[in-house]
Amino acid sequence: MTLTNVLAGIAVEDIGLSLVWYEYLFGRPADARPMNDVAEWKLPGGGWVHVRTDLDRAGASVAMIIVDDLTEELERLEMYGVKPVAKSIGDFFKTAKLRDPDGNLIILSQPQPGTY
């Protein structure tokens, strides 16, 4: 078996209420709306983030998104009132943890030079 891509899923209570927050996160509207309760964003490096209404799992998802410039992303998100709940710097990555309106954990991560 050869794995060629990934579709990361995030469960929310109401896609209509969450859509604006994820549009802020990705800086654009969804690339696809294959169903009424689903929105998807394609990532430049490959893969997709799939946000869907799922009452049983809402708030229990975790997604890590790799960014080129964490500081720039956080400044952009702050314009919309989206602020990290925690930040850290490690040997391999700088990270910021965000919580969407349902409490899902979204981690923005920037590789340290020479590590990724």
Average pLDDT, the chain: 93
Please state the rounded mean pLDDT for residues 92-108. 96
Give the per-residue pLDDT at 6: 81
Tell which CATH classification among 3.10.180.10, 3.50.50.60, 3.30.43.10, 3.30.70.141 matches the domain 7-111.
Answer: 3.10.180.10
Q: How do strand 48-53 and strand 7-12 relate by DSSP bridges?
A: parallel
Alpha helices in 29-116 (DSSP H): 70-78
Is the pLDDT at 92 greater than 80? The verdict is yes
Record the pTM.
Answer: 0.90
Give the per-residue pLDDT at 113: 81
Please state the rounded mean pLDDT for residues 41-48. 91
Q: Give me the residue spans of the domains in the chain.
A: 7-111
Confidence of residue 43 (pLDDT cuts 50, 70, 90): very high
Please state the rounded mean pLDDT for residues 6-26. 94
